[in-house]
């Protein structure tokens, strides 16, 4: 019988000859347009991952028939690295992104990403580009791991070849102005039995039309409701949603149409730590509408990696706009945001071991 040899996947690094770092204006960083010196790549073919490498950030070329462009077998993650005052660099819950990426991969018939590619790739890449992690208050290094089908083939079936890549972008403090959102009861982001819980490209493409309509009506985003009846609240844009009603914090329970947000689960944990009653359950539109009419919605906010906690100032429903109190000191949202910020910067105890040191 042939002997099975477990290949150890190691990362080969090719450094840039000249860093672009001196050209970057860290005081004026546009979101998602400045890319660090290096990127990580791994190839999947013949049923295995190989050629793990860090190379200078550059364009990649592919065939016009590349399957991702046509059939959207494409998944991604998003997380941030933080620089502390002592110069150390830390990631927030990267293991959770690793797990979620493989949940997305499974749903999209894509191969699982090995730990050496995701976790080691992430750590080595950020270690190499640690000079790109901004030190300015509120600025961070946004990290984008993603995987896509790479077959040069037209035809609907799971591809045989894939690329897994990671690049990073220094980003300025994300000023999250309080958002105006409208409860969406016509369009659907994710259906029961669909792919809403996967972080897959098509979900974002599918969300654009309704979001654009809402923006034309003066809102920033929609609050998605369930695809079957539009009777239950799901999430909003790239955020999970929380409401505080009659003293209790509530958020929609997870299912196959809601993304299992890492900020969401951290906020639920913080609520428990603070002794704040919190419920994960089905939230009906009728319940929220009633509470809005009666002025019982004490707080509403979105939670996600980009904005962390984003206060909702207005909720539109059936042609009526309901204004909510601001996220000021003393609110749960304010305290949660502050606490997450301090844990990330090492200024509050990391009691749940969320932070992973990079350098």
Enumerate binding residues for ligand PLP (CB under 6 A): 78, 235, 238-240, 259, 261-264, 304-305
Q: Which two tokens stand for residue 266?
A: 């951290």
Sorted by sequence, the CB contacts under 8 Å of residue 153 that are 6+ apart come out as 65, 67, 159
Of all helices (H) and strands (E), which one includes residue 38? strand 38-45
Minimum distance of ligand PLP from residue 69's CB (angstroms): 21
What is the per-residue DSSP string for 247-293? TEEEEEPP-TTS---HHHHHHHHHHHHHT--EEEE--BHHHHHHHHH
Among residues 63 and 253, whose Cβ is nearest to ligand PLP? 253
Among residues 264 and 317, whose Cβ is nearest to ligand PLP? 264
Among residues 189 and 313, whose Cβ is nearest to ligand PLP? 189
Among residues 159 and 249, whose Cβ is nearest to ligand PLP? 249
Buried/exposed 138-174: b ≥16 CB within 10 Å, e otherwise: ebbbbbbbbbbbbbebeeeeebebbbbbbbbbbbbeb
Q: Which two tokens stand for residue 119?
A: 């976790």
Euclidean distance between CA atoms 35 and 57, whole angstroms = 7
Minimum distance of ligand PLP from residue 232's CB (angstroms): 16
Using the Cα atoms of residue 66, residue 71, residue 73 and residue 75 in order, give the sign of their dihedral.
positive
Minimum distance of ligand PLP from residue 142's CB (angstroms): 11
Give how far Cα 35 sits from Cα of 75, 194, 198, Å.
20, 33, 25
User: Residues 188, 322: contact at Cβ < 8 Å?
Assistant: no
Euclidean distance between CA atoms 52 and 35, whole angstroms = 20
Among residues 55 and 72, whose Cβ is nearest to ligand PLP? 72
DSSP SS3 for 11: coil
Minimum distance of ligand PLP from residue 243's CB (angstroms): 16
Minimum distance of ligand PLP from residue 261's CB (angstroms): 3
Among residues 190 and 245, whose Cβ is nearest to ligand PLP? 190
Among residues 43 and 299, whose Cβ is nearest to ligand PLP? 299
Return the number of other C-beta atoms located less than 10 Å from residue 212's C-beta: 11
Residue in the structure block whose two tokens are 């609050």? 223
Minimum distance of ligand PLP from residue 75's CB (angstroms): 11
User: Residues 188, 203: contact at Cβ < 8 Å?
Assistant: no
Using the Cα atoms of residue 199, residue 205, residue 210 and residue 213 in order, give the sign of their dihedral.
positive
Minimum distance of ligand PLP from residue 158's CB (angstroms): 23
Minimum distance of ligand PLP from residue 152's CB (angstroms): 29
Minimum distance of ligand PLP from residue 259's CB (angstroms): 4
Q: Where are the alpha helices (DSSP H) in 72-176?
A: 94-107, 115, 121-128
Among residues 52 and 190, whose Cβ is nearest to ligand PLP? 190
Among residues 49 and 224, whose Cβ is nearest to ligand PLP? 224
């Amino acid at each position: 019988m042939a002997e099975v040899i477990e290949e150890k996947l190691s990362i080969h690094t090719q450094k840039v000859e000249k860093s672009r770092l001196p050209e970057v204006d860290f005081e004026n960083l546009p979101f998602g347009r400045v890319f660090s010196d290096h990127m990580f790549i791994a190839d999947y073919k013949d049923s295995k991952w190989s050629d793990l490498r860090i190379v200078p950030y550059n364009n990649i070329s592919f065939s016009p028939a590349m399957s991702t462009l046509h059939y959207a077998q494409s998944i991604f993650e998003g997380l941030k690295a933080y620089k502390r005052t002592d110069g150390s660099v830390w990631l927030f819950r990267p293991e959770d992104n690793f797990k979620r990426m493989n949940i997305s991969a499974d749903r999209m018939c894509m191969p699982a990403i090995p730990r050496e590619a995701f976790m080691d790739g992430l750590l080595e890449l950020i270690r190499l580009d640690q000079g790109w992690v901004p030190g300015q208050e509120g600025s961070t290094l946004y990290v984008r791991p993603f995987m896509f089908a790479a077959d040069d083939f037209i035809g609907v079936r799971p591809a045989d070849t894939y690329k897994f890549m990671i690049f990073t972008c220094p980003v300025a403090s994300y000023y999250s102005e309080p958002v105006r959102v409208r409860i969406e009861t016509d369009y659907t982001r994710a259906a029961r039995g669909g792919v809403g819980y996967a972080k897959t490209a098509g979900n974002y493409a599918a969300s654009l039309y309704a979001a654009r309509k809402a923006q034309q009506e003066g809102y920033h985003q929609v609050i998605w409701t369930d695809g079957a009846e539009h009777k239950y609240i799901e999430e909003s844009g790239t955020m999970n949603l929380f409401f505080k009603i009659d003293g209790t914090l509530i958020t929609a329970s997870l299912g196959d149409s809601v993304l299992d947000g890492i900020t969401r689960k951290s906020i639920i944990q913080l609520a428990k730590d603070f002794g704040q009653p919190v419920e994960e359950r089905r939230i009906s539109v009728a319940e929220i509408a009633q509470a809005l009419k009666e002025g019982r919605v004490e707080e509403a906010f979105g939670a996600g990696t980009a904005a962390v906690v984003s206060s909702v100032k207005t909720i539109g429903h059936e042609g009526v706009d309901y204004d909510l109190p601001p996220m000021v000191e003393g609110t749960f949202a304010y305290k949660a945001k502050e606490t997450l910020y301090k844990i990330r910067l090492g200024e509050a105890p990391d009691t749940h071991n969320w932070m992973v040191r990079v350098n």
